[in-house]
Amino acid sequence: MDKFEAAIFDLDGVIVSTVPLHFKAWKKMFSEYGKEFTFEDYKKKVDGIPRVDGARAILTDVTDEELKKACDKKQVYFLELLKSEGIDTYDSTIKLMGQLKDRGIKIAIISSSKNLPLILEKINIHPLYDIYISGHDITKGKPDPQIFQMAAERLDVPCLNCVVFEDAVLGVEAAKRAGMRCIGVDRYSKPERLSKADTVVSDLSQLSFKKIRALFVP
Which residues have a catalytic role annotated? 10, 12
Length of the chain: 218
Residue 2 contacts by C-beta under 8 Å, 6 or more apart in sequence?
A: 160, 161, 216, 218
